[in-house]
Structure 1
Amino acid sequence: MNLRSCSVLVLDDDPDILTAVRLLLRPQVREVVVERRPEALPALLAARSFDVILLDMNYHSAVNTGNEGFFWLRRIQELGSRAAVIMITAYGDIELAVRALKEGATNFVVKPWHNDKLLTTITEALRPPGEVVASPKAAAGSAPTLLGTSAAMQQIFRTIEKVAPTDANVLVLGENGTGKDLVAQAVHQASRRAKMPLVKVDAGALTESLFESELFGHKKGAFTDAREDRAGRFEAAHGGTLFLDEIGNLGLGQQAKLLTALQNRQITRLGSNQPIAVDIRLICATNVPLAELADERRFRKDLLYRINTVELLVPPLRNRPADIPVLARHYAAQYAAKYQRPEPTLSTAALRKLEQYAFPGNVRELQYTIERAVIMADTPVLQPDDLLFSQLEAPTQPGESLDNQTLSTVERNAILRVIEKHGGNITRAAQELGITRTALYRRLNKHAL
């Protein structure tokens, strides 16, 4: 079943959550029903059937034990509903959510979530029970999708098919916007751990003070704001896959702590002396070239060997122009469905314009170019004039080509232009750049801005 033909029930006592989910899902699914009172669940299930149920773990109780969520999960099962149940949980309740998976829930989402992640989780929940994605090609119908017909991408698919069934650590290399996160998802989906969580961490955004708490968790009272016990990302990924993005930006001190956890296959929460065994499959990604990463002044070689059992290099889009038509048509169909427009076709001249462009922003830039064209085009056939390339990636000086700039220079100049455009407003600049405020501050510090 696809997303557009499914019926979704959302149970949460927070009206803001219900409003946000209803607005997100209404254009995406056939039907979305929201309900604040879990007591209404039996009547709702008696009146109609649902394909997916989003179920909060805590309602009226003052203590966030998750017991209410488990009670209603069991009731759904007792009432004979075949709906896939996705638990809604706060970050500190991840341990409860993992327990819910063992008791029959299909997956869980953590508040606050990214909309794309929620849609992906629902889409994956619609997959028939017992179906396991065996290869990237088999995952072509799910979202998001790793696509490509070029020789380079076919080699990546073959490597994924070989490495995914193992527990070998994978290092994904490539420029920003090439789809490294999709490669990580493809590896996870084709692995034996596909039914367990894939936990993503933006390692580059973790400050020194947050690093241990986020990855390893903490005990109540371990530091000033530690008001409750909290599981870290390693524990959340137990049995599944841990994806550390932007690992090349970790400091040497953080690298040493990560290496210890990987060598021992156990972590210790802040404020505790009790080690906890973890079973994870590790995937890392970075836009830092391997030659730079091998410099021990920047990155520990013992850690590099640990994370680099298998290396996957995702080539920039300019080096695989054969993939541009496939990707362009895919995004045209995707955004036509999202904005409820007729699916456009691309004229020969439009495709030629795309293929002749260098795409310094890689697949991400192509995606936004097609999205803009779908929204703004006046005819069902996209023409060259409908394709406007992002000024974020344009050279800063007349006649200055991308070949004469380093990737760092391109990033620095793009940040300067956007911050200037918004009069120094960091929040708006981060939104336009598609990154968090924390990530933007980190880049400002990196470029000494």
Structure 2
Amino acid sequence: MSSLLILDDDPDVALAARLALRKLGAVAVRNDPRELWAALDEVAPDVLLLDMNFTPGATDGAAGLALLREVVARPRAPAVIVMTAYAEVELAVQALKAGAVDFITKPWANERLVACVQAALARRAPAPAMGELLGESTAMQGLRAQIAQVGASQASVLILGENGVGKELVARALHRASPRSQGPLLAVDMGSLPEALVESELFGHKRGSFTDARESRPGRFVAAAGGTLFLDEIGNLPLASQAKLLAALERREVTPLGSDRPVAVDVRVLAATNVAEAELFDARRFRPDLLYRLNTVVLRVPPLRERGAGDIALLLRHYLAQFAQRPVEITPDALVRLTAYRWPGNVRELRQACERATLLARGPVLTWEDFGLIAPAEAAPAGVTLDLDQREREAVQAALAQADGNISQAAKLLGVSRAALYRRLEKHGL
């Protein structure tokens, strides 16, 4: 089960956030910044929602920025979403540069808050440096060479690949290789963003422009000024919103909701999708003119099953050492079966399997059973449970991995409602 921590000196605000997020996992609340460090050790949150001001009358966010920098410097730091009632663009940019994954302004719309946290949970895996886009296969060496070549340009890049292959890692590597590396990199999960909020999130809004717009806030294009805007799962963007995005890209300006004055924007746009490349050329699903605007360069991230046993073994060693914090041994039989496994959830599934193995290992040397995987060709070998509860748990885990942690998409894959999926998450402690 996911773990969330909210630090806000206003108990009413913290309670409202806790109630809005309680279905996403265990939610802890602290109101005093002096309690933060003990809470981080006690709760070990996946996501921290951090207020930016803790002194009456303070609006500069200095206290929150100081805490943010200390939090992200910790080993295995949580993803941090900053919260503030003062939506100055400069403060949002400073927070993103300091290591926040996102920002939200108070008061918020609950669906916006939930979408923001869901996206942060989906990206919980740490973003390694370019050198940790691991793999010595021909495909990975070629991908790293393309990143080095394309990164230094201003070209728009479309990153294609299945769920879990590491598309966001590629986007981060492109950003680090670019002249914009000192600017912010802001990622937006288009798949988890409600359609009604797309325009406000991307372009911003003015106070009073719609029912819940109690404060003005910058959109993602403005907040990412001077840096890179990464539009993840762009294939899920509705056609109506695609037209507005195209206009912004062509004019290099956005008009916030409720305003009649366009704002010039200076961002490099990277986009990614798990939609099959052929489907992107279906005009009923994706506008061809927007596709041509986004795919100046196309990078294709290979699925793990096509990278070979060498890359799988390398990734196993890397993640097992990371989670165990020491070298870990695997039985020869387990290594053979792990490198032959198809890994439908790709690198994300491998990473989760390594974490599970280090937590549940029954001895000093890891066996195949410690990883909790069932190979398709081994429907029910000796020792593998046929327990329906266990199979249901594994199906939920696989759906979450395939859907990048997006609850709505995972529910569709399983053929159940969101409410039914939430009940199963609670039932199995996921």
The TM-score, its normalising length taken from structure 2, stands at: 0.70
Identify the residue that residue 362 of structure 1 maps to in structure 2. 346
* Alignment-mate amino acid for residue 252 of structure 2: R
Identify the residue that residue 376 of structure 1 maps to in structure 2. 360
Matches within 5 A, 1:281-300: 281-300=268-287
* Alignment-mate amino acid for residue 373 of structure 2: F
**Partners in 2 of 1:385 and 1:418 — Cα distance?**
16
- Whether 1:93 aligns to 2:87 is yes
Matches within 5 A, 1:35-46: none
CA offset at residue 210 of structure 1? 0.9
Report if aligned partners of 1:198, 1:237 keep a CA contact under 8 Å in 2.
yes
The TM-score, its normalising length taken from structure 1, stands at: 0.67
Alpha carbons of structure 1 residues 305 and 25: separation in structure 2 relative to 1, 3 Å = farther
**Partners in 2 of 1:207 and 1:87 — Cα distance?**
18
**Partners in 1 of 2:395 and 2:411 — Cα distance?**
15
**Partners in 2 of 1:107 and 1:309 — Cα distance?**
29
CA offset at residue 292 of structure 1? 1.0
**Partners in 1 of 2:298 and 2:30 — Cα distance?**
43
**Partners in 1 of 2:154 and 2:214 — Cα distance?**
36
1:345-401 deviations in whole A, cap 9, x for unaligned?
22332221111111111111111111111111132322233232169xx69x99xxx
Identify the residue that residue 203 of structure 2 maps to in structure 1. 216
**Partners in 2 of 1:116 and 1:21 — Cα distance?**
24
* 2:261 counterpart (251, 263, 274): 274
Report if aligned partners of 2:349, 2:401 keep a CA contact under 8 Å in 1.
no
| SS in structure 1 of the partner of residue 230 of structure 2 | strand
**Partners in 2 of 1:188 and 1:26 — Cα distance?**
34
CA offset at residue 254 of structure 1? 1.0
| SS in structure 2 of the partner of residue 209 of structure 1 | helix
* 1:16 counterpart (30, 33, 56): 30
* Alignment-mate amino acid for residue 313 of structure 2: P
- Whether 1:66 aligns to 2:66 is no
CA offset at residue 20 of structure 1? 6.4
Alpha carbons of structure 1 residues 447 and 158: separation in structure 2 relative to 1, 3 Å = farther
| SS in structure 2 of the partner of residue 243 of structure 1 | strand
Alpha carbons of structure 1 residues 186 and 100: separation in structure 2 relative to 1, 3 Å = closer
Alpha carbons of structure 1 residues 189 and 26: separation in structure 2 relative to 1, 3 Å = farther
Alpha carbons of structure 1 residues 390 and 23: separation in structure 2 relative to 1, 3 Å = farther
**Partners in 1 of 2:394 and 2:344 — Cα distance?**
20
What is the CA RMSD across the aligned residues, in angstroms? 4.2
Alpha carbons of structure 1 residues 419 and 433: separation in structure 2 relative to 1, 3 Å = farther
1:51-73 deviations in whole A, cap 9, x for unaligned?
xxx995322336xx623x34897
CA offset at residue 442 of structure 1? 7.2
- Whether 1:389 aligns to 2:384 is no
Report if aligned partners of 1:369, 1:390 keep a CA contact under 8 Å in 2.
no
Report if aligned partners of 2:221, 2:265 keep a CA contact under 8 Å in 1.
yes
Report if aligned partners of 1:172, 1:284 keep a CA contact under 8 Å in 2.
yes
CA offset at residue 236 of structure 1? 1.3
Identify the residue that residue 182 of structure 1 maps to in structure 2. 169
* Alignment-mate amino acid for residue 296 of structure 1: A
Size of the alignment, in residue pairs? 355
Identify the residue that residue 42 of structure 1 maps to in structure 2. none
Matches within 5 A, 1:154-303: 154-303=141-290
CA offset at residue 192 of structure 1? 1.9
Identify the residue that residue 331 of structure 2 maps to in structure 1. 347
Alpha carbons of structure 1 residues 11 and 383: separation in structure 2 relative to 1, 3 Å = closer
**Partners in 1 of 2:300 and 2:254 — Cα distance?**
30
Matches within 5 A, 1:398-417: none
**Partners in 1 of 2:292 and 2:364 — Cα distance?**
51
* 1:336 counterpart (324, 330, 338): 324
CA offset at residue 243 of structure 1? 0.7
Percent of matched pairs sharing the same residue: 44
**Partners in 2 of 1:431 and 1:91 — Cα distance?**
34
* Alignment-mate amino acid for residue 16 of structure 1: R
- Whether 1:435 aligns to 2:423 is no
Report if aligned partners of 2:200, 2:256 keep a CA contact under 8 Å in 1.
yes
Q: Which has the higher contact order (CA 8 A, sep 6+)?
A: 2
1:70-93 deviations in whole A, cap 9, x for unaligned?
48979xxxxxx9x98999443863
Report if aligned partners of 1:170, 1:282 keep a CA contact under 8 Å in 2.
yes
Report if aligned partners of 1:350, 1:387 keep a CA contact under 8 Å in 2.
no
**Partners in 2 of 1:217 and 1:195 — Cα distance?**
23
Report if aligned partners of 2:190, 2:233 keep a CA contact under 8 Å in 1.
yes
* Alignment-mate amino acid for residue 285 of structure 1: A
Larger radius of gyration: 1
1:216-252 deviations in whole A, cap 9, x for unaligned?
1111111111111011111111111111111111121
1:261-285 deviations in whole A, cap 9, x for unaligned?
0001110100001111111111111
* Alignment-mate amino acid for residue 59 of structure 2: G
Alpha carbons of structure 1 residues 334 and 352: separation in structure 2 relative to 1, 3 Å = same
Residue ranges of structure 2 left out of the alignment (5+ in a row): 1-5, 11-28, 75-79, 105-115, 381-390, 421-430
Alpha carbons of structure 1 residues 290 and 329: separation in structure 2 relative to 1, 3 Å = same
Alpha carbons of structure 1 residues 100 and 435: separation in structure 2 relative to 1, 3 Å = closer
CA offset at residue 206 of structure 1? 2.6
Report if aligned partners of 1:418, 1:432 keep a CA contact under 8 Å in 2.
no
Identify the residue that residue 314 of structure 2 maps to in structure 1. 326
* Alignment-mate amino acid for residue 59 of structure 1: F
| SS in structure 2 of the partner of residue 204 of structure 1 | coil
**Partners in 2 of 1:199 and 1:381 — Cα distance?**
41
